[in-house]
Structure 1
Amino acid sequence: MPQYDDAEPARRHRRRDSDGHRRHHHKRSSRDPSAKRTSTDRDAGRKLSPGALAQLDAYNALGYASEPARETQRKPRREKRRREDYRAVDTDYEAPRRERRRRDSHADSDRELEARRRERRRAAAQTENSDMEYEPQRERRHRKRGGIEDDRGIQTEGEIEKRREKKKKKQRVVSGAVAEEGRAIPVMRGGASSKHSSWDSVEHEKEMTKYKPANKKKKRWIIAGVALVVLIIIIVVAVVVSKKNSSDSSSKKSGLDGMSEDSIPVAARGTYLDPFTWYDTTDFNTTYTNETVGDLPVMGLFTDWDDSTQANDKVPALDKDWGAYTKTPARGVNLGGWLSIEPFITPSLFNYDSRLGIIDEWTLCTHLGPRTAASTLEKHYATFVTEQTFSEIQAAGLDHVRIPYSYWAVQTYDGDPYVFRTSWRYLLRAIEWARKYGLRVNLDLHGLPGSQNGWNHSGRQGVVGWLNGTDGDLNAQRSLDIHDRLSKFFAQDRYKNIVAFYGLANEPQMVSLSADSVIAWTEKAFELVRGNGYNGNVVFGDGFMGLANWQGRMTGYSGLVLDVHQYVIFNNDQIVYTHQAKVNYACAGWTEQAQQSMDTSTGYGPTMFAEWSQADTDCAQYVTNVGWGNRWTGTYDSGNASTEALTPRCPAKDASCSCDGANADPSAYSDEYKKFLRMFAEAQMVSFEKGWGWWYWTWDTESAPLWSYKKGLAAGILPEKSYERDFNCDSDVPDFGSDGLDETY
């Protein structure tokens, strides 16, 4: 152990004081008997002021430091101070706990506790009075504790005691003098600090327990009971949701019963070939295979099929020859907005802040990101069209279904945000459902690489990049490559009876493309498809050139059919037709066009009408593109002076033009309006059957009733059976003016 001379305590004291740490150490060291200081040896320690030296001399004259018993008295006192220092706490933390303790204790207990505290403070004060301090340190302690200042120097014990008693009367009971000094009341802390209390904490806790309010325990029971009830509710809800999800999962994942994920090769897990990742497996073959035809997967298909079904007794079964479409025209419907989504058919997919610019499938997928886009669109594929859809189509007396799909069902390219191949699986299943109900299929490639028309239903609204612009030739070749693979796949025996029409390109915008380039590409595509073994009818779009302009073009191609889409609402001059004029135009104008086009001396030849509707306004949300307004009320701002309509184009052409009637629920339609809508629909059916037949656009919509065959049936504005009609253009065109129908828009 190191040895110290007499001056060492003073040096230790000097180091501590110079660092500014813990003044009470300075006080203790200065009272060390082995280091008693006088005015004569002050140079051995810290230099003091003259007043402090006088106090020190007076202190030494009292003789306390030289008493032998002094050391034994101070030792316990230092231990006590260490314990009190250990118990010192942050009063900001302890005050709330003391306040709660005070509220929970009875007033009598508070008074008893305060009396005990006073007794302890009185005992401590008597001990402290035996340890005199020099004046500057005493003054600081008095100021801190609210003591009475005087300049009389050292006072007698009686005077000190009298002043302490006077101070006690001013102390607050709530917080206590000890708390105001920065110390904690020992019982207010638990844990280790209780062990270091300067009084019997255990006994105090027993006393405090006697005075705890009786309702505290009751409150705990209440809280526990409420928590238990909440827990039970949560468990019940979780079980119900789990059962529902399990039920949904079992119905959608029925094909996975008994299967193990280990049956899927590691390389295929998590890909579009992994049925455990599919949203819906109903009527899919989930037995894994990587077999392809034309480099396209057959995963999801069963090996057997049956073509013996017929849609109705007016048409032959699938395994029977249809015959000439000039004698038995097609009566069909589109599944628009399904595998190639359109904002006006499913506006819920496009209800975003307009500032985000989500206007088509490209921008939607970009906004959602790959994972969310994949889950969002597959849920749409699985729910928007189901087997029930095909059952209802058959029940409506229809015999054909046109299925639009886009190139990303087959292939995507660098930079494409589209969901790859998921729609392919649903396309194959749709064909099988059509087979089940005897419906022949018109395959319609609705979106081509680069966009063949720049409209939202091609996937990307804006610039036409197909056969046009920097990548025009590249996109032309990509489109041929896609048809190379598709035609090889659909040339299988499996599809020879059901895929009656094979579409090359939906609505190429030939008013902005080179007509010669489009025709040259169409001829290449036709030869490619025929060369790959597909022997059904091949379809190409009229490109909005006018049917008369196709006379003499692309002749000599057996089974090549011209496709025409007839609408009055997308033309500023036709949308203003009155109800009378619209029915007359459908009966006379479109009938004439059909007959003209079917005659090779005046038109192309084989002509079909694969899109039309009974909508007489363009009021449906997003039908003219997201955010572009409509012609009917004069809000159609296309940005093109040749197509925009900034003044009302309803027949009245004034402020009375409103979309309220057209967008209302069909149950609110007037009888006159319903009569017109049905005649308008049937007039078109009659006209288009002058060609190879028709496909209504579209089977169902979320909210646009005049575009939905299903909603039209429910409203009675379409015949219950497509082949049972009450109207004939040759004899039944009424005078709408006499019925006042021209006034009902």
Structure 2
Amino acid sequence: MAQPPPSAHTVYTPLPLTTDDSQPNALYNAPPSPHGSSFHVPTQDQDGLPYTDDMGIPMGAAQPRFLGRALYDDGGAPSMRSSIASSHNPYSHDRSSAYTTDSTYNLNAAPAPISRGFTESSYRDEPGFFVGEQPVRRRDEKGSAYGSTTKSRRRPIIIGVGILVLLLAVVGVALALTVFKSKIGSSGSSPSSGSSGSAPGSTASGTPAGKIAIVTGTDGSKVIADDGSTFTYSNPYGGTWYWDENDPFNNGARAQSWTPALNETFRYGVDKIRGVNIGGWLVTEPFIVPALYQNVQATTTTVTVIDEWTLIQAGGSAALEEHYKTFITEQDFMQIAAAGLNYVRIPIGFWAIEVLDGENFLPKTSWTYLLKAIQWARKYGLRINLDLHALPGSQNGWNHSGRLGSFNVLYGPMGLVNAQRSLDYIRIIAEFISQPEYRDVVTMFGVTNEPQGNQIGIDNLSSYYLQAYNNVRLASGIGEGKGPFISFHDGFLGLGKWDGFLPNADRASMDLHPYLCFSTQSTAPISTYGTRPCDSWGGQFNSTMKNFGFVVAGEFSNAVTDCGLYVNGVGQGVRYEGTYTSDGPWPKLGNCASDWLDYPNWDAATKKAYMTFALASMDALQNFFFWTWKVGNSTAGKVEAPHWSYQLGLENGWMPRDPRSAAGQCGNTSPFVGTLSSWQTGGAGAGNFDPAVTNALAWPPAAISTPGGSFPINILPTLTPTGAVVTLPPPTFTSVSGQPAATASLNVGNGWANPGDTAGMMKPIAGCKYLDPWIGPVQPPAPLCDNARRQLPFGKASTTDAAPAATITAPP
């Protein structure tokens, strides 16, 4: 079929809420667009070099996403997720410009929503605070909202009745909308503002006394979105939203009646994390947003668009920002809370902070949208697990690291430099999210997604993790409520390898990504998979909870085969059909389209089987994040990877409306029944490390692994902490009308939680030769650092920073 004409942006199928009162949080699809698609893959890049080898893999590339070498190999245990990324530029062995991280941020975020609402700590299935009747207003609240209620001594019956009727009507409207200004939700560690900027006699949003300001609501209430649009808040589980433009850091909103409000303590190990990833948004993946990639590909014949690097290389910057604006909106966050979920995991790339010359990423733009996500999460009572998904040089070589090809963090000749840069970015993010304005919303921090632990080695990965832990705790401090849970991915080494890692670590958790679909393929129907998660995963998670501490499944899905458009990557084929271009040969078992992907024609039994599989996964994993919330349409106008979309499952009846219904699906034989140690939740003893442990894992490691052996760090390029520190900008707030909100005295934070953290950022050293950060698995020339090699660094801060180059520091 002919390729549709190029589009300036990708239009995603809208998913508005139905107004059917019988199904208050049902969703529906807009009619699909009947577009076909074709895909042209050139054989050479812009320099005339071949893109792929005879197996269809980029020259010098690591195996693409989900390969066996990155999976468990323990006698048949289900495989863990690996992923895919992209690179086809010739290697650059040196650059002539100076590396600098000095930058100036002048980014303005859109209006920041606020979440504040009624608090109720007890576990209830009914709609929380509003149970069968409206709440009773306090007299001082009524007086503030409606003015004096002083009674006249002469109370004529007619006037009295009139006033009473009028008051009842006004109070009824106010209570029906639950839109009064109430100083609830102000307890806890986050500020409630306390300085709203309102004039005397006004409500929080500047409304004159006697008027009603819409600042909070429950199921059925009207919401004004930050873009000025309106929709109905549809949450049957007792959730409460809150937004007051002049009180943007109040944390009283509650996702559901059974989930602690943001200003209440979330009891890890007791309260369950029932979460969903917002994948494909701020770090794109072709299978999640296929139309974005297809539309940009249609504009070029010189670049094969297979990852974010080549997307920008092909001129897709405008399309990418339009994607940021449209793929995920405020309504998605409302719908997530309405689906009974209480957490979101949001992947971001290092380019949210800075981009150096030669790095094909859109600099800093995604940060403005992450600030929106924090606003929306706060408004609807959702907590955030912020995941650093992509590091400079790539930590795994897959497309969701930003660039498909080799991996160069803690591996290869640039492995140390890329790790040093990554640790700086971890520190910068930790300083921002540890500020009191944000720490009760962004409560978990995944410091590195899916590093290649088998090649890096567990000792070096452990050393890097300890330094990342130290950077986060330096920003936030030790103790409950002083910073995020720190999440460490297992590096595909297996949970058992991490038993006893960092005993007494303050709020540290393991992150595992269990999948069934990327190892052995099968034609067995989905109805045969009902107990697989219980049998395979429950024991692993219980053992880790006992022997390490808190563990979360950061990713899992409903897929049991690798069928789906671009699931393995653009042009990579699928194992199930025998067309996968690596790690084979794979026999052809059937046809994905008819066997697994025709979800509009799934019968009730098939949907029930998928529901059973989803419930078993949730029960076995206990604390989880489904991958992913939404999968966008292809240019054919349909979702072509249905097993990966939580939202699509809700719409079509194969995902649970209430994830609590998963409890007991595994027969109550696997759930963890112990309690976490006090240090695991920030209590007594947290952070008190044995010096022998920390000394053994001192950073940096003595050597870095490379193909064919390892090299001492004293002959590899390294950086020194002499640069100016980059800080992330806070949001700016405007009213719905577009006028500045009355927040002149509001403290939005300065991006740096700990003023005592004064070390500089890592900068190049004179006399060192710096290779391309994505150089790949090559043998480094030795030595790379000596006084005879006085050469300029490999890059500098993006020219969009308009910042001077860093001064070269003399070698030690």
Report the TM-score range of the alignment, normalised by the length of the smaller protein: 0.5 to 0.7
CA contact (8 A) 2:564 2:592 kept: no
SS of 1:493's partner is: coil
Q: Deviations over 1:383-432 (max 9, x none)?
A: 00110000100110110011111000011122111000000010011011
CA contact (8 A) 2:573 2:580 kept: yes
Evaluate the alpha carbon distance shift between residue 476 and residue 726 of structure 1 in structure 2; reply closer, same or farther with a 3 A threshold.
Answer: closer
Residue 700 (structure 1) aligns with: 630
Choose which of 501, 507, 511 in structure 2 pairs with 1:559.
507
CA contact (8 A) 1:679 1:727 kept: no
In 2, Cα distance between the equivalents of 1:396 and 1:709?
10
Query: Superposed, which structure 2 residues align to 1:531-546 within 5 Å?
Result: 531-533=474-476, 535-546=483-494
Query: Superposed, which structure 2 residues align to 1:282-681 within 5 Å?
Result: 283=112, 304-323=248-267, 325-351=268-294, 352=297, 356-368=303-315, 373-533=316-476, 535-572=483-520, 579=526, 581-600=528-547, 604-638=548-582, 643-648=583-588, 654=589, 656-664=590-598, 666-681=599-614
Shift of 1:474: 0.6
Amino acid corresponding to residue 617 of structure 2 in structure 1: Q
Gaps of 5+ in 2: 1-103, 115-226, 228-244, 477-481, 633-638, 671-812
Q: Deviations over 1:179-212 (max 9, x none)?
A: xxxxxxxxxxxxxxxxxxxxxxxxxxxxxxxxxx
Q: Deviations over 1:533-587 (max 9, x none)?
A: 1522000101111122222233331211000011100113x65665355322211
SS of 2:444's partner is: strand
SS of 1:622's partner is: coil
Query: Superposed, which structure 2 residues align to 1:81-100 within 5 Å?
Result: none
Evaluate the alpha carbon distance shift between residue 597 and residue 401 of structure 1 in structure 2; reply closer, same or farther with a 3 A threshold.
Answer: same
In 2, Cα distance between the equivalents of 1:536 and 1:580?
39
CA contact (8 A) 2:311 2:317 kept: no
Shift of 1:645: 4.4
Evaluate the alpha carbon distance shift between residue 483 and residue 524 of structure 1 in structure 2; reply closer, same or farther with a 3 A threshold.
Answer: same
CA contact (8 A) 1:505 1:540 kept: yes
Whether 1:730 aligns to 2:667 is: yes
Q: Please provide the CA RMSD for this pair.
A: 2.5
SS of 1:586's partner is: helix
In 2, Cα distance between the equivalents of 1:567 and 1:694?
13
Amino acid corresponding to residue 565 of structure 2 in structure 1: Q
Bigger-Rg structure (1/2): 1
Q: Deviations over 1:155-193 (max 9, x none)?
A: xxxxxxxxxxxxxxxxxxxxxxxxxxxxxxxxxxxxxxx
In 2, Cα distance between the equivalents of 1:481 and 1:339?
20
Q: Deviations over 1:60-91 (max 9, x none)?
A: xxxxxxxxxxxxxxxxxxxxxxxxxxxxxxxx
Shift of 1:356: 3.2
Residue 227 (structure 1) aligns with: none
CA contact (8 A) 1:284 1:302 kept: no
Amino acid corresponding to residue 459 of structure 2 in structure 1: D
CA contact (8 A) 2:446 2:488 kept: yes
Shift of 1:731: 7.6
SS of 2:254's partner is: coil
CA contact (8 A) 2:345 2:385 kept: yes
In 2, Cα distance between the equivalents of 1:562 and 1:687?
16
In 2, Cα distance between the equivalents of 1:589 and 1:284?
41
Amino acid corresponding to residue 477 of structure 1 in structure 2: Q
In 1, Cα distance between the equivalents of 2:454 and 2:393?
17
SS of 2:493's partner is: coil
CA contact (8 A) 2:510 2:552 kept: yes
Query: Superposed, which structure 2 residues align to 1:8-19 within 5 Å?
Result: none
Gaps of 5+ in 1: 1-270, 286-299, 649-653, 734-745
Between structures 1 and 2, the one with greater helix share: 1
In 2, Cα distance between the equivalents of 1:732 and 1:556?
29
Shift of 1:349: 1.9
Evaluate the alpha carbon distance shift between residue 462 and residue 576 of structure 1 in structure 2; reply closer, same or farther with a 3 A threshold.
Answer: farther
Percent identity, aligned pairs only, is 38
Whether 1:718 aligns to 2:655 is: yes
In 2, Cα distance between the equivalents of 1:509 and 1:528?
21
Q: TM-score, normalised by structure 2?
A: 0.50
Evaluate the alpha carbon distance shift between residue 582 and residue 545 of structure 1 in structure 2; reply closer, same or farther with a 3 A threshold.
Answer: farther
Q: Deviations over 1:246-284 (max 9, x none)?
A: xxxxxxxxxxxxxxxxxxxxxxxxx97365xx9xx4659
SS of 1:389's partner is: helix
Shift of 1:335: 0.4
Shift of 1:468: 1.2
Q: TM-score, normalised by structure 1?
A: 0.54
CA contact (8 A) 1:337 1:345 kept: yes
CA contact (8 A) 1:310 1:438 kept: yes
CA contact (8 A) 1:661 1:669 kept: no
Residue 616 (structure 2) aligns with: 683
Evaluate the alpha carbon distance shift between residue 551 and residue 621 of structure 1 in structure 2; reply closer, same or farther with a 3 A threshold.
Answer: same
In 1, Cα distance between the equivalents of 2:251 and 2:616?
33
CA contact (8 A) 1:411 1:482 kept: no
Residue 129 (structure 1) aligns with: none
- Which structure has more relative contact order (CA 8 Å, sep 6+)? It is 2
Evaluate the alpha carbon distance shift between residue 528 and residue 726 of structure 1 in structure 2; reply closer, same or farther with a 3 A threshold.
Answer: closer
Q: Deviations over 1:641-680 (max 9, x none)?
A: xx334213xxxxx4x454324222x331122221211110
Evaluate the alpha carbon distance shift between residue 347 and residue 568 of structure 1 in structure 2; reply closer, same or farther with a 3 A threshold.
Answer: same
Amino acid corresponding to residue 456 of structure 1 in structure 2: N
